[in-house]
Structure 1
């Protein structure tokens, strides 16, 4: 029965391995697809906001251009010719349109009463409604949705001289009303309100086209990655089969040796001493075989994990070797470049040797709290970012007692610290600080562990300081920052970890303070 079980153990290993790897691939694919679509939704939300913002900028630019032209022409005319200039301007604006379908047209009101009311203005230009030209208008007029949009933009004009207003209005060559976003600006010299608008259904149509293109691209990317996952699973299965065949060979050899020993023991049954020695030898071999079997099983699992984890580092190594080969053929491979590329390759190999156990944490972060030493966690973070700091001559002074423990989400904690240190590094580089440094130290109180990260980057120039934790706020030049790192850090610390994240200026720069409950 024992031999039968050992005989089938290789098949059991294969089945278990396939089940485990298939489950992992399915889970990885699920989380990958989920995260990809979540990122897609966030990108589209930002794209829509930016698109509407750009539309507003474009509308304002069009009106500003027209007003600049009017101002220029007005400066060259006297009072007698100004009325003629107004009439010429009206004729010109009636023929201006920024779209082929003429839906993006200029319209002009002559304001008679800046405070609004009935007959507050006369319509001078509107290619879409020639039937209203010359008629008196009222701020009490309501659009198809019951909105007094003229009252709204006149209130804005009284306050700041311009207005962005959304309302329902009929399109050119159409009897139905569509939502429209218009920009109104007051030209005091002639008491004109000059405006231009765009229909939001045209905007949404353009956004929808871009959404479909981006979604199709993402779907293709997802399919490609799932195919890659499947390919790696197939490779891992082939490797496991080869390992199991090796185990089969070992087991068959073991069975032959057991049979030979059994025959030998039957022949030597009369000699007790030899029987004992034979049993001892048999047991020793059996133990060695079990150890060997365990090593083969562990080897199979390790090879499987490495096949998945090392895909990116292997790609980096390939890129390094291709770069070396290219520079060699171009006769530009000097000793300095070779030394640099060798160090890069060594760094990748070092990373590969320490990252086998990181696979599950990367794709499936731990959702439960765990107890860990603060110093060890900080050492791991410094391993990740030390190269970037040293390359920029940033000195790190870390003073953290080795006995301080935390009981929280280790991965999220490291993400917060990495965000803060990276932010400090970027500030030091941006401000071109001489002899830059970052100090990291910790202390304990009765209820909290307090971690402080301080730099000499010159401090935070905004008030209140808490503004740095707002989403999309950044002080980095040329839009180098996304403005979400510190925001997400505060969410993690205060909502997920029940702690506090604060920032204040010091004599030399800024200090971030993290309070976490014990």
Structure 2
């Protein structure tokens, strides 16, 4: 339930992020399109203003050039009619004045001396205006005469009156030279007229821009609403899927919990079975080993028993014949006591080894080694195995089950000696105490164990001997790691035997000391 709510919170957070992302994208696109369209409109206005100005200039130039051409033709016609020059000039000026006269479309004429011949204000006609200046200090007539007499004429921008007092506007005029009469003929247009045209176009484009912005905003809102609806639908759909899969997962989890309980029960049962099986195998291995020990001990006990019989027989015969002194009798009795004590100790060692309860007891390392050697003595004597002990610790206690470990290792060495036909057989056991741990190093010269088998040597039922169950070293590992909480490592090392270096298996054991 908690996990499901967590996923729902994540889903809601992602939905909010998705909505904000869509909103930001919409705003960015709207701003981008607005900016793009604004630049387009602004560029159009600039181009329109340039185009309008160029168009008016071309129109004015064309009008002036066309007029000059008409004047030339008309003058030639009048002169052929044998009219004098003054009369021809009057006719030409009258013709010019009749063409068109308003403030934004009129023809002005003056001679090269600056005398105004035609102006839309009659009061300036006949007046010499050579020194006329605008508000910027430009000598308008002088500059127009200079431009007009140039090769193709030209344009001049200046500030001119509009006919109203105290009212001047920026104006652009084109002039050209009518050489036949020494006239400067021109026409111009006030720039505010162009500004008005540009303003009209600007208002038109602004209206178009506003319409376009409205369209962008409308589609942006629709875009946002569309994706919000899709996002909400996806959210509800995924939320429903989460609830559905929550139920499915809960059902599966319940089945898994039931299955885990069943598996745990089975595992416990299997462990118990394996434990019982291991105990039986260990016990069987123990009994087999004890059978071998008993066989060897039975053979070895013949001599102590013969000694007891001999001491008793001699003492009995001597007492009957009164041929034994008190000292000799005590000596014979001491021999019987010593021998029976040895036999009793052997029985006690067997009892300790065979008893499961004794494995939970703690004994000194010296006592355990002594017991191991006593139990193994019949075998070591029979197999000619020499056991050396280097014990550098005293009064350190260890679990009695370590006795089984030592006997297993000794028995393993005995089998290896026989399998590898080793003649000078040696086992060396070293005991040290470092960092509150008892270190036991067990070595033999039986040829060692192949390195590739080191990882498997403690596995159950693993053996390199055809007649072995493969339980001994596994039992050793189980006792050390599970019961004694110790560690064991295997390696091959060299050991000196009769002045010669030979290879053998080395078992390094680390176990914590027990404090009484």
Normalised by the length of structure 2, the TM-score is 0.48
Normalised by the length of structure 1, the TM-score is 0.48
Which structure's CA Rg is the greater one? 2
